[in-house]
Structure 1
């Protein structure tokens, strides 16, 4: 359980850092630029802590998949990025893949 909490912190801080990357305007605005460095630092440190208890393949798949899906959602909500049928299918496939990986991990643990 602790590993999943560190993984969640890693995902949230990575998404925030990515948002700040956009706000930093190519690192020309100081505040968001500092937030990028801090956010990615927290993200990678938290990811390393979660790897003490979670398999790398599972943790990285969840981290990258959910992080990507959340970043797409933030882009749509905050910056008005286009959301269409293909976006919906893409996010659904990402989340579905993460669910399948997670189920496969639990299945192997019980056999």
Structure 2
């Protein structure tokens, strides 16, 4: 499905853009700042294309949920942010919520 490819591009772009946002140090570093803007433009453009075929609630749940979960993991792995049981439970709940909303959306077609 082409729509899910666009959604995947939106998620990956948003994750990279968020990492670049952290690296930009408050937009004081040029290349990470440019990377942030480019990635977020690509993320929103790709998300808009996916919305032509995926219901808004399903697409947004997947985009924001997967993006949030993966960004939390990247924060832990790359940026050495602290992890806890609460973090792990939160990530699992986000993923569970995305799955439930996706099942609901899949049944609505």
TM-score (normalised: structure 2): 0.97
Asked if 1:19 is matched to 2:19, the reply is yes
Instruction: Supply the RMSD in Å over aligned alpha carbons.
Output: 0.7
Matched, 1:6 2:6: yes
| CA displacement, residues 20-45 of structure 1 (integer Å, 9 cap, x when unaligned) | 00101111110000000100000000
Deviation at 1:82, TM superposition (A): 1.1
Deviations 1:23-81 (A, max 9, x none): 01111110000000100000000000000000001000110000000100000001111
State the alpha-carbon separation in 2 of the partners of residues 108 and 102 from structure 1. 10
1:37-76 to structure 2, matched below 5 A, reads: 37-76=37-76
Q: Which runs of 5+ in 2 are unaligned?
A: none
How many pairs are equivalent?
109
Distance 1:56 1:105 in 2: 9
Give, in whole Å, the separation in 2 of the partners of 1:93 and 1:101. Answer: 12
**C-alpha deviation, 1:107, in angstroms:** 2.5
2:95 counterpart residue number? 95
